[in-house]
Amino acid sequence: MMTVDPVRWGGAAAAIAAYAGMCLALLRARRAVHQDSGGAHADWLVAYASQTGTGEALAGHTVATLRTGGLSARALSVEQLDEATLRGAARILFIASTYGEGDAPDSAARLARLLDQPGMALGQLHYALLALGDSSYANYCGFGRRLDAALQARGAQALFARVEVDRGRGAAIEAWQHHLSHLAGTSDAPDWSAPGYGHWRIAARRLLNPGSAGAPVYRIDLLPAEGELPAWEAGDLVQVSAPGDPDYPREYSIASTMAEGRLSLLVRLHARDDGSVGLASGWLCREVQESAPVLLRVRQHSRFRIGENAARPLILIGNGTGIAGLRAHLKSRADAGQARNWLVFGERNAAHDHFCADDIAAWRKAGMIDTLSLVFSRDGAAERYVQHALAAQAAQLRSWVDEGAAVYVCGSLHGMAGAVHETLESVLGGDTLAMLDESGRYRRDVY
Ligand SMILES: Cc1cc2nc3c(=O)[nH]c(=O)nc-3n(C[C@H](O)[C@H](O)[C@H](O)COP(=O)(O)O)c2cc1C
């Protein structure tokens, strides 16, 4: 799915065609997902547990294929799958990705709880499962496999064997499509091709942390090689296809808003133990010349967009390059005049690693950051990490959440996201945190 036909890379006409294709494919997939979220009855449910949107897009394609054969189908996030729907459904196609170290995506907490309930019997259910994962992780497709086992243990009957997709590779997706065509009784399946990459160029590249004890971080500003910026929202991601590894695009959070007129990324140069640099980050930060094309596509990341939290106070928590996703949110909040923002950001040394310091200072001065908690782990203060800052301000954390705040976390999975989760749980209580999660008020972009 993620491979790109090299013939298309040739010229401007091809880039425009690819871009138009991308718009159409995205539009089609999203229309299929969103038109159907109203709860109308459908014979086939396509339930996706997706963190960064791949599974959601595949759910849209799946629905479109079933409908081509005249079946009634609708897509829904597993967050919306309640007990009555699960117990009553005759046919569900699950699409499940895996995160962390074999963990379920955040959106799957409710489903996991439902399947754990004693007495949950699903003998009425016929299902199939598309598991998304990456075989370089120890727990390849861990959540998809556990979900499959749990459904079987509850008596649900598989329509066909689980299909596993390694890093979005096309052959497995074709196998899934093939099964769907059988179910739908049609060979006339809609086009599932991935959105094409656009050609971009680097407009500016700047080292943000000279003298840092950590690896170098670059701010990279990009513009389309031709034409207009594509649409995105704060929280969205890009995929970059590096020349040495075109089948395995790297994802980065977008640090800028469309209104700023450029797409900015914060990229940390990945250094290996032997001193060599990571293939994609080395290419982006050091090698690619300003005149050379960068193949890039924007990906909607619904779970990290502002969505229904636009009018709520926002607690933004992150470390390192995680400031990228938080910056885009802060910028769009500042532009919208929404000032109830509490930024909790951590890095190593204030002197070298205070990313986006000028923006943060300007927003603070303009009254657009209500509370600012900066922690630098190597500057000798008692509060070393973001979780310590949160724990130290437990009363304010509780009162913001009581007022309706949403919590957005962006940055490292290891060391940060887990510790922040535990702190939120101990300050707010497990039930409140679960409520925030289920109601879309706790959102994470962690990697
Ligand atoms: C931080 C992170 C951790 C991941 N952990 C795993 C893992 O433990 N096992 C696995 O098979 N895939 C893992 N993956 C790969 C994702 O499951 C895969 O990229 C999937 O296509 C994402 O689908 P989604 O966009 O629908 O969430 C991980 C990806 C990220 C970014």
Which of 174, 152, 153 shows the shortest CA–CA distance to 163?
A: 174
299 C-alpha vs ligand 1 centroid, how far in Å?
Answer: 15
Global pTM value: 0.80
Torsion of the alpha carbons at 388, 392, 395 and 401, rounded to the nearest 10: -20
**Ligand 1 neighbour 253 (Cβ under 6 A):** no
Q: Which of 47, 51, 70, 69 is nearest to 60 (CA)?
A: 47
- The residue among 141, 191, 196 whose CA lies nearest residue 167 is 141
Which residue has the CA at smallest separation from atom 27 of ligand 1?
51
For ligand 1, is residue 19 a contact (CB within 6 Å)?
A: no
Residues 6+ positions from 314 with CB-CB distance below 8 Å: 306, 329, 333, 338, 340, 341, 342, 405, 406, 408
Spatial contact of 49 and 164, defined as CB atoms under 8 Å apart: no
Burial label, 262 (beta-carbon count in 10 A; 0-12, 13-18, 19+)? middle
446 CA: nearest ligand 1 atom: 1
Quick one: 411 exposed, middle or buried, by C-beta within 10 A (0-12, 13-18, 19+)? buried
Is this complex scored with an ipTM above 0.90? yes
> β-strand 163-166 against 126-133: which pairing, if any?
parallel
Q: Is 51 in the pocket of ligand 1 (CB under 6 A)?
A: yes
Ligand 1: atom nearest CA of 251 is 31
SS3 of residue 137 by DSSP: coil
Please choose from 101, 129, 134, 135 the residue to mutate so as to test ligand 1's pocket, defined by most ligand atoms within 8 A of CB. Answer: 134
Q: How far is residue 133's CA from residue 160's CA, in Å, rounded to a whole number?
A: 19
**Probe target for ligand 1 pocket from 62, 103, 132, 136, with the most ligand atoms within 8 Å of CB:** 132
Give the distance (Å) from ligand 1 centre to CA of residue 184. 29
The Cα 445–Cα 322 span in angstroms is 8
Pocket flag, ligand 1, residue 133 (CB < 6 Å): yes
CB distance 235 to ligand 1 below 6 Å: no
The secondary structure of residue 318, as a DSSP letter, is E
Task: Check if 134 has its Cβ closer than 6 Å to any atom of ligand 1.
Answer: yes
Whether domain 308-446 has CATH 3.40.50.620: the reply is no
- Pick the atom of ligand 1 nearest to 49's CA: 26
Enumerate the domain spans of the chain.
6-184, 198-299, 308-446
The fold for domain 198-299 equals Elongation Factor Tu (Ef-tu); domain 3 (2.40.30)
**How confident is the prediction along the chain (447 residues), in pLDDT tens digits per residue?**
222 222 223 333 444 444 444 434 433 343 344 344 334 578 999 999 999 999 999 999 999 999 988 999 999 999 999 999 999 999 999 999 999 999 999 999 999 999 999 999 999 999 999 999 999 999 999 999 999 999 999 999 999 999 999 998 888 999 999 999 999 987 776 777 777 899 999 999 999 999 999 999 999 999 999 999 999 999 999 999 998 888 788 999 999 999 999 999 999 999 888 989 999 999 999 999 988 999 999 998 988 999 999 999 999 999 999 999 999 999 999 999 999 999 999 999 999 999 999 999 999 999 999 999 999 999 999 889 999 999 999 999 999 999 999 999 999 988 899 999 999 999 999 999 999 998 999 999 998
Task: Return the pLDDT at 168.
Answer: 86
Q: Answer whether 418 contacts ligand 1 (Cβ < 6 A).
A: no
Q: Measured in angstroms, how far is the CA atom of residue 168 from the centroid of ligand 1?
A: 10
d(CA 97, CA 27): 22
The finding on whether 196 has its CB within 6 A of some atom of ligand 1 is no
Res 187: pLDDT = 74
Q: Which of 51, 99, 130, 140 to mutate to test the pocket of ligand 1 (most atoms within 8 A of CB)?
A: 99
256 close to ligand 1 (CB < 6 Angstrom): no
Q: For residue range 251-295, what is the model confidence (pLDDT) as tens digits? A: 999 999 999 999 999 999 998 889 899 999 999 999 999 889 999
Q: Does the Cβ of 160 fall within 6 Å of ligand 1?
A: no
Homologous superfamily of 6-184: Flavodoxin domain (3.40.50.360)
Q: Could you tell me if the CB of 309 is within 6 A of ligand 1? A: no
The yes-or-no answer to whether 6-184 and 308-446 have a common fold is yes
- Quickly list DSSP for 285-307: III--TTS-EEEEEE--GGGS-G
Distance from Cα 301 to the centre of ligand 1, integer Å: 14
The distance of Cα 305 from the centroid of its chain, to the nearest Å, equals 9
pLDDT of residue 249: 86
Question: Counting atoms of ligand 1 from 1, which one is nearest the CA of 102?
Answer: 8
Atom index in ligand 1 nearest the CA of residue 53 equals 25
* Residue 247, pLDDT score: 75
